[in-house]
Amino acid sequence: MSILKLYQEHCVVPDVINVAPSETLDIQYPSGVKVDIGKELTPKQVKDRPTVRWAAKEGEYYTLALVDPDAPSRENPKFREWHHWLVGNIYGGDLNKGEVLSDYIGSGPPKGTGLHRYVFLVYKQAEKCDFTKVPKLPNNSGDKRGKFSISRFAEQFQLGSPVAGNFYFAKYDDYVPKLYAQLKG
């Protein structure tokens, strides 16, 4: 099945974005798991910040986002989208040279809410962006992360459509209470 069909089959298009990216992000977690489009992973496997690679061009700037459109559940997505990670002004694809707008938080689907979609997207910026008015969010708080829209954010900063992406599914496991404790600061 084509990448584009998978984005549509799992309703990432249109729930998160209008156009599926043509490139696939290579995402590797310290736990050893790799993100394969549409596969299920556990919150414990994705608790730590992953390594993310794409066909980045030297001298170009990019924005990376990780969002959950199914917060608190797919049936009742009243917090769509909850953003787990947002990094802008990534120079030449080197995440360490990016501006962390929202620090990485792993998957934490509430108990009994089934599978959530976790969507990674990369946008190519036309130039370096001024993100000074974007609140910088730490990874020990869930405040200001709900009701985010990566599409609106991309529109606001004129990022166009995503150039690369990937997504996985996760449901509650016994790691989630530990994550919730971290988010209480």
The whole model's pTM is what? 0.96
Euclidean distance between CA atoms 143 and 160, whole angstroms: 27
pLDDT tens sequence across 54-64: 999 999 999 99
Confidence at 1, pLDDT banded by 50, 70, 90: low
Strand-pairing partners, residue 170, are: 116
Reading the block at residue 119, the tokens are 């969507």
Q: For residue 166, which of 59, 22, 15 has the smallest C-alpha distance?
A: 22
3-state helix, strand, coil in the chain (%, to 5): 15, 30, 55
Q: Does a cis peptide bond (omega within 30 degrees of 0) precede residue 109?
A: no
Domain ranges of the chain: 3-183
Strand-pairing partners, residue 27, are: 52
Q: Is residue 179 classed as helix, strand or coil in its secondary structure?
A: helix
CATH class of 3-183: alpha beta
Q: Do residues 167 and 37 make contact, with C-beta atoms less than 8 angstroms apart?
A: yes
User: How far from 132 is each of 6, 72, 88, 128, 155, CA to CA, in Å?
Assistant: 35, 29, 11, 12, 17
Tell me the average pLDDT across 12-29. Answer: 96
Q: Is residue 177 classed as helix, strand or coil in its secondary structure?
A: helix
Region of 106 (left: φ > 0; alpha: ψ -120 to 50; beta: rest) is beta
Euclidean distance between CA atoms 67 and 74, whole angstroms: 13
Confidence at 184, pLDDT banded by 50, 70, 90: confident
pLDDT tens sequence across 73-116: 999 999 999 999 999 999 999 999 999 999 999 999 999 999 99
